[in-house]
Homo-oligomer: A and B are copies of this chain.
Amino acid sequence: MSVNRKNYHHGDLKPALIAAGLDLLEETGLESLSLRAIAARVGVSHTAPKNHFDGLRGLLTAIAAEGFRRHAAEMRHGVEDHPPGKPRLQAACDGYLRFALAHPELFRLMFSKTLCNHDDPALRAAASGSYEVLRGIAAGLDWDKADAPGAPQRTEWMLWSIVHGYAMLLIEGQIPRAPDGSAPFPASGVVPDFGYRADLAE
């Protein structure tokens, strides 16, 4: 099977559609991301995706999965340069926010139950990979509820909630941004100063 032929069969349509969707997401935004627009950009008819995805929702789900992979990569980026505890936490939170602000439309898609199917195995796996970064870093963080029942999940969710909420409120224009689009505080500026306890770490 030859790749990228101009003729009837595209040859590599599935990844091409995902890539086109990601591009269109950056260029024209989420609301105008239609099945027909994505197909047109690849140069196929608007019903061609049906052979590879379960409708528009299926395609959006695949795009979101790729988003989660990049999201995880952005969080991991630079994390290993810092020692465990607060510095590493800051790096991951900054990565989380950096991704959200750089790709707001994709970020919105990724977390939209309406637009994509979070029961899809591939999406679940990708999203878990992203969550694992935060989870690994949350292990060892000490705060006033670190010994209460439900820790360490409570710590993970507390941390996730703060970074995610900050990203969302910024993206949706609820918290004002600087003219250059940057947040008023870095992600680490709204995260409380956790302590670090080796006995809590993994």
A residues whose Cβ falls under 8 Å from a Cβ of B:
30-31, 108, 111-114, 118, 127, 143-145, 150, 153-154, 157-158, 160-169, 171-175, 184-185, 189-193
Residues A157 and B190 in contact, CB atoms below 8 Å apart: yes
Q: How far is the CA of A97 from the CA of B41 in the complex (A)?
A: 42
Residues of B within 8 A of A185 (CB): 150, 154, 157
Residues B192 and A154 in contact, CB atoms below 8 Å apart: no
A190 CB contact (under 8 Å) in B31, B118, B158, B193? B158
Residues of B within 8 A of A163 (CB): 161, 165
Known A160-B175, A161-B166; further 9 A-B contacts with Cβ < 8 A: A112-B172, A113-B172, A118-B172, A118-B174, A154-B190, A161-B190, A162-B165, A164-B168, A165-B166
The residue of chain B having its C-beta at the shortest distance from the C-beta of A166 within the complex is B161
A174 and B111 in contact (CB under 8 A), knowing A161-B162, A165-B161, A168-B168? yes
A192 and B111 in contact (CB under 8 A), knowing A153-B184, A165-B163, A165-B168? no
Q: How far is the CA of A175 from the CA of B143 in the complex (A)?
A: 21
Q: How far is the CA of A118 from the CA of B175 in the complex (A)?
A: 12
Residues A157 and B169 in contact, CB atoms below 8 Å apart: yes
Can you list 8 A-B pairs with a CB-CB distance of less than 8 A?
Answer: A111-B174, A113-B171, A144-B192, A150-B185, A158-B166, A158-B191, A160-B165, A164-B168
